[in-house]
Chains A and B, each alone.
Chain A
Amino acid sequence: MLWFGLLSKRKSNTELIIFSPAAETNVLFYLNDAVTQLLEHKEEYIQFGVARYFAEYFSSVKNGNHVLFREFSYVKATPHNRASFLRIFWRCFRQIGKNGDLLAVLEYCSLLQLICPDYPPEMVQSAAKIVLIDDAMDCLVSFSDFLYAFQIQFYYGEFLESVSVIYQDLLSGKSPNTVIVPTSTSVEHLVSAVEDEASQEGVDSTLFTQCIMGLCERFKHSHPSPAAIRDILENTQRVSFYGFLIAMARNEKISQEIGALPSKSDLLIDPEMDQELERLIAQISISPTSNSSGSAAGLREPPRKASPRKSLHPRKRIEMESDGSTEETDSSEN
């Protein structure tokens, strides 16, 4: 085992890298993944340099870029990964939000799949449900609405599922399967009260809060801080499940806790990226790919409207004899 020693050395390094307690608990997970990846793509990484590979892997974990183009199971495996993914998604598609278009759920799904090829559409659907309150699924959604709803759904997925169960239980009048102390008669009372008010929409928020608090105590997945939940549920008498979710999505505190996305007011601001983008666009305008004179002219003067990109001169026909030139055509991609 050549790299055994290296690995052990690396390990000590990673301990130095570790920066958040959440990540610390997942060191083994990342180690596992790193080694698995290494095994899976042995040739490439040995060529790349094993030590270099590990260094890059863990530094990317630290920077939060490690989830790019990774499989969904990896992306959602740790809270750190989730937060990283959210941040990357925001950074990548901020411009689309800036554009102001309302997009269909399917479209967001496609966008997610661009950076995580096997992202399951169901998750996107459920995120959209938060925005659209469980109906009218073919409606269009704005970028920011979707992003915050998606954050809640993605980051607290397991938690929301449990809450949903609790909510359903409450709704049907059952005593939710929580750790609420059975001695408190108030719960019984409240449950009966719920039965009385069954006709009304939603459940009593106090009871709901209690149940959620109970859940939080024993919940092993990540969950929003109880204080934030209390914040949300304090102000209302009754709450419906999706009402609760929307409130969560809109809650700045929870968003801060996750730490992946900027506050709503800053959502579309990312000067560093804007700068990069301008540079890219400028490059495109003069890039050699748009080879005709038309494009170069189009750069200086304001872009002409609906002007053809370049003259429609027929491309020179390639004869079959020059077939081996696929590399050539390939290099034209640059």
Chain B
Amino acid sequence: MRPQRKAGSGAARFLAPTVNSYKLHLAAVKSLVPDKVVPRPLDLQVSKGLTKDIAGDALRINPAKPENRLAALSGTRLAHSPALAFVGDLAGLEHAMLPPPAACGAVMGDLGPQSYRVHPRRLTQSAGAPGSQSNTSHVTAGDVITASALGFPCGGRSHDDYAALPERLDLDRSDSYQCFRRNCVSKHSPAGGRRGLEECPLLERVEKLRLLNLQHNRISCMRNLEHLRWLVFLDLHDNRISHLYGVSTLTSLRVLMLGKNRIQRICGLEKLTNLDVLDLHCNEIPRIENLSHLSELRVLNLAGNRISRVEGLRGLDSLAELNLRRNVISGVAEVDRLPCLRRLFLSSNCIGSFDDLACLGESGSLCELTLDGNPVAQETWYRQAALRCVPHLRTLDMKRITEEERRMACVLARKEDEKKRETHKQAVHKEKRRLAIRNAAQQWEELKACLDLPTQNGVKEEVSSEGSPTHSTAHTNGLAQDPSPDEPRRVSPLSAPDCPPGGSENRLRSSSRPNSPRDPRLSEAGGTSVQSLSLSDSHLAELDGEMLRLFGPGALEALERGWGVQTAGAVTTIAFRYISFDAIIPTLPRIRVKFPNLAHLVFLETNISRLPQLAALAQVKRLDQLTIHPEGNPVVGLALWRSFLLYRLHHFNLQKLNGVEVTMNDVIAAERLFGTLGHVATTKTPRCRLLLLLEESRKRQLQFLLEGRGRRAGPTPEEDGRQLGEGLSRALFNYPVRDPSGDGQEEGAVDASRRAELVQRYLCGLVQWAADTSIKGEALHKLWPSMFVEMVRDCVLDMRDRPAFRQASLSRLTHTK
């Protein structure tokens, strides 16, 4: 039988049993079989009656139920028995035959018309065999489905019995209609002829009709059905029905097949509370609505409609199967409100991500799902991801979930979690970083504001700020204007892009990189991740590949920390921002020691305002590039800054200054401007003064020279100055590092005052002494003439008596001998 069924649609293969099971339903006139999935008591009177009948003896008449026409007829009509037999069989075989998930009410696929339709003629023919047999024992569990499916229409097709047994009525296609016309009374016989019915025939004497099959007709309006109160099964598959109004009174209806029609809206089903199966596939329904009262509904087929969103499903407490294939669904909601849902078909929709399916995870009962034909199914690890989304799943896209897959999903889930955590961590860190930088900027602003005021009176303090109103305004928006195009983040776009500064400055890669390392715009560090070294509320130090970035004064501490040889050796660029240059200066000599490969310094918002400050850079000893950003560094506004820097750092052989190549002309021009200054400074400054001005190593040099000179006493001071060299002339221009601690200054002040006192006293003594000497001298000068006269007179008197004088002298001589 199966080969003859047209397997037109792709789903046909597995639709076959479904169709059969439908037929089975027809035969059973509502599930005689207690559904395991929906284990609610069978309340259908008919089925109860049938069951009871069958339970005892298939052929026995039960007179106690007069309303049961089966009972009335069973005794006389053997032809009827197959159905009963089948029913009975069903009752007996229910467990074997209807494994809960698979067969019962499985509206697999969308029941394409071909596959769904059972050709009547075929049915009739093949029904012959089982139909002629009254013995139910022939029906084995294996072919129950086929047998029953065939057996049932057989009952309907026995024309002889038809008038007497108006319980089923198959009016599909024209031929069956013709057939029907001959046997049954039909008031409204449409002209349809071969093409089938144009509208529902008004059926008389069939009030007890339970099954009505009107497939493949041209019915556009469900009329003339109101009186069929007992109707349990109504099949209007493949008609032209555009609305559902006609069925509202069929309260007993349990199965309503309206596939392949033109229905545009679900409505009018309010009274059909007993509905068990509702098939609306291949219609034009745009949304799911007006279904919430169908608490008995087990199967709902809405495949091939125009539904864009799964919703309106509340109240469908018994729904076990929901078919939504071939819609345009992009969002799934409320599925978790279906407590009995086991199978959900969402193939060929527009679901783009598992986020849209989040509510599936909430459903504890779902165990079968199809998602093929959705964009989401294109993803790698799709099955695993789906499994992670719906952990209870047993079958996905008709394939059983293997243990392997389950494990994989677990791993994947863990990975995802880790990634999420990592992302979160990164986001948090990013945010912290942003805050730190912002705070540093703010503090910087405040500092500037403070500095701007005292410059008026504080002689020693920052000189710069006045007269350069531009720079203060320039960096108020410093942070905002720095989008960072170079954040080497590979994280999802979920994390909001923040704006860390440092983007605008020239990112100069190391000179040791082989490929165009000096391109200032070569900013991308590839995969290098930014490593945060020190982070607080208001400062940040981070290492980005070869670049060390420091924000805020606190970040300078990062320079002090223990640096690994590797890490320190890798740093070629250090960028300072929001740090006062005067605070940086003390670290400069140490920087050179710490980072042997440092080749580039970047200063941004460091308040370098005067030329002498630039001299402090000499302490770095060696640099290839220097960038002093105009932003927050007023010195760049001066015309001479470049020349002075080149002059002062001549021995560095700077390659680039603010990203501009340094040429020989620049150097000579700088020398021309400042050479005299250096020369004068070297040759004219007193030696002793020079000693104080120079740093330790140079001082030794100078001392050596001085001592040499002392020994040889040869060269004139001028030549000596020349010997001291050009390096010296530059080295004279140092920027004094101020002692930041107030204590030292106070001590110094105390010292100085004590010293001044001492000097004062000493000088007083000196002056006194000099004055005394002078007075004595003057007195002597005054007395001298008279003293001289006296002395001469004494001599003359002594020598008046010559022999006596001679005698006395000789005796004095002998005495002394």
A-side interface residues toward B, CB under 8 Å?
7-8, 11, 28, 31-32, 35-36, 39-41, 44-45, 47-48, 52-53, 56-57, 59-60, 63, 65-66, 68-70, 72, 88, 91-96, 99, 101, 103-107, 109-111, 113-115, 117-118, 120-122, 125, 137-138, 273, 276-277, 280-281, 283-285, 287, 289-291, 294-295, 298, 303-310, 312, 314-315, 317-323, 326-327, 329-334
* A310 and B653 contacting across the interface, CB-CB below 8 Å: yes
Bound CA span A45–B638, Å: 38
* B727 and A306 contacting across the interface, CB-CB below 8 Å: no
Interface string of B526-569 (1 = CB under 8 A from A): 00000000000000000000000000000000000000010011
Among the listed B468, B610, B650, B653, which residue makes an inter-chain contact with A113, where contact means beta carbons less than 8 Å apart? B610
Chain B residues with CB under 8 Å of A284's CB are 650, 667-668, 671, 726
Known contacts A106-B634, A327-B697; A44/B688 CB under 8 A? yes
* A333 and B727 contacting across the interface, CB-CB below 8 Å: yes
Interface bracket on B? 35 or more
Binds A, one of B430-438, B457-465, B779-787: B457-465
Chain B residues with CB under 8 Å of A276's CB are 675-676, 679
CB distance from B615 to the nearest CB of A (A): 8
Closest 5 CB pairs of A and B: A110-B611, A65-B684, A92-B677, A60-B686, A314-B511
Chain A residues with CB under 8 Å of B467's CB are 104-106, 121, 125, 137-138
Most B-side CB within 10 Å, residue of A35, A106, A118, A317: A106
Give residues of chain B (661-691) contacting chain A, Cβ–Cβ below 8 Å.
661-668, 671-681, 684-689, 691
Among the listed A56, A107, A285, A334, which residue makes an inter-chain contact with B688, where contact means beta carbons less than 8 Å apart? A56
Specify the chain A residue showing the minimal Cβ separation from B699. A44
Bound CA span A140–B668, Å: 24
Bound CA span A309–B609, Å: 28
In addition to A121-B466, A320-B568, 14 A-B residue pairs with Cβ atoms within 8 Å of each other are: A8-B769, A31-B766, A32-B763, A56-B688, A66-B686, A95-B674, A96-B640, A107-B639, A305-B663, A307-B665, A309-B663, A332-B621, A332-B651, A333-B651
* A332 and B622 contacting across the interface, CB-CB below 8 Å: yes
* B676 and A94 contacting across the interface, CB-CB below 8 Å: yes
Specify the chain B residue showing the minimal Cβ separation from A101. B639
Bound CA span A312–B593, Å: 24
Binds A, one of B76-84, B335-343, B753-761: B753-761
Known contacts A47-B703, A314-B517, A329-B592; A93/B677 CB under 8 A? yes
* B676 and A28 contacting across the interface, CB-CB below 8 Å: no
Bound CA span A102–B678, Å: 22
Interface string of B605-618 (1 = CB under 8 A from A): 00001111000001
Interface string of B744-777 (1 = CB under 8 A from A): 0000000010011011101100110110000000
* B653 and A65 contacting across the interface, CB-CB below 8 Å: no
Bound CA span A65–B721, Å: 14
Bound CA span A307–B517, Å: 19
Bound CA span A52–B717, Å: 13
Known contacts A60-B686, A107-B639, A317-B512; A285/B668 CB under 8 A? yes
Bound CA span A40–B751, Å: 9
Chain B residues with CB under 8 Å of A298's CB are 664
Bound CA span A150–B338, Å: 93
CB distance from A84 to the nearest CB of B (A): 10
Binds A, one of B16-24, B99-107, B729-737: B729-737
* B668 and A326 contacting across the interface, CB-CB below 8 Å: no
Bound CA span A120–B457, Å: 10
Bound CA span A326–B640, Å: 30
Bound CA span A101–B672, Å: 13
Among the listed B459, B517, B596, B678, which residue makes an inter-chain contact with A320, where contact means beta carbons less than 8 Å apart? B596
Interface string of B702-726 (1 = CB under 8 A from A): 0100100000000000000000011
Chain B interface helix/strand/loop/mixed: helix
* A333 and B676 contacting across the interface, CB-CB below 8 Å: no
* A280 and B675 contacting across the interface, CB-CB below 8 Å: yes
Number of inter-chain CB pairs below 8 Å: 259
* A277 and B664 contacting across the interface, CB-CB below 8 Å: no
Chain B residues with CB under 8 Å of A93's CB are 676-677
Chain A residues with CB under 8 Å of B191's CB are none
Chain B residues with CB under 8 Å of A47's CB are 703
Bound CA span A209–B655, Å: 59
* A303 and B664 contacting across the interface, CB-CB below 8 Å: yes
Among the listed B655, B664, B685, B767, which residue makes an inter-chain contact with A295, where contact means beta carbons less than 8 Å apart? B664
Q: List 28 A-B contacts (CB under 8 A).
A: A8-B769, A40-B755, A41-B692, A48-B703, A52-B688, A56-B687, A56-B688, A68-B684, A69-B685, A72-B459, A92-B677, A103-B640, A104-B639, A107-B640, A110-B635, A110-B638, A111-B640, A121-B466, A277-B676, A281-B672, A284-B650, A284-B668, A305-B665, A309-B655, A310-B653, A317-B596, A320-B596, A333-B731
* A326 and B593 contacting across the interface, CB-CB below 8 Å: yes
Known contacts A35-B759, A312-B655, A315-B624; A283/B726 CB under 8 A? yes
Give residues of chain B (596-610) contacting chain A, Cβ–Cβ below 8 Å.
596-597, 599, 609-610
Say yes or no: is B333 at the interface (Cβ < 8 Å to chain A).
no
Bound CA span A41–B467, Å: 37
Bound CA span A277–B141, Å: 117
Bound CA span A120–B665, Å: 33
CB distance from A87 to the nearest CB of B (A): 10
Chain B residues with CB under 8 Å of A290's CB are 653, 664, 667
Say yes or no: is B271 at the interface (Cβ < 8 Å to chain A).
no
Most B-side CB within 10 Å, residue of A32, A280, A303: A280
Known contacts A57-B688, A290-B664, A333-B621; A109/B675 CB under 8 A? no
* A115 and B681 contacting across the interface, CB-CB below 8 Å: yes
Chain A residues with CB under 8 Å of B456's CB are 122
Among the listed A11, A69, A327, which residue makes an inter-chain contact with B770, where contact means beta carbons less than 8 Å apart? A11
* B684 and A88 contacting across the interface, CB-CB below 8 Å: yes
Specify the chain A residue showing the minimal Cβ separation from B764. A28
Chain A residues with CB under 8 Å of B672's CB are 95, 99, 277, 281
* A113 and B463 contacting across the interface, CB-CB below 8 Å: yes
* B755 and A334 contacting across the interface, CB-CB below 8 Å: no
Say yes or no: is B693 at the interface (Cβ < 8 Å to chain A).
yes
CB distance from A244 to the nearest CB of B (A): 25
Bound CA span A333–B455, Å: 35
Say yes or no: is B518 at the interface (Cβ < 8 Å to chain A).
yes
Chain A residues with CB under 8 Å of B767's CB are 28
Specify the chain A residue showing the minimal Cβ separation from B769. A8
Chain B residues with CB under 8 Å of A111's CB are 611, 640
CB distance from B658 to the nearest CB of A (A): 15
Bound CA span A310–B682, Å: 28
Specify the chain A residue showing the minimal Cβ separation from B647. A284
* B676 and A315 contacting across the interface, CB-CB below 8 Å: no
Among the listed A109, A114, A309, A326, which residue makes an inter-chain contact with B664, where contact means beta carbons less than 8 Å apart? A309
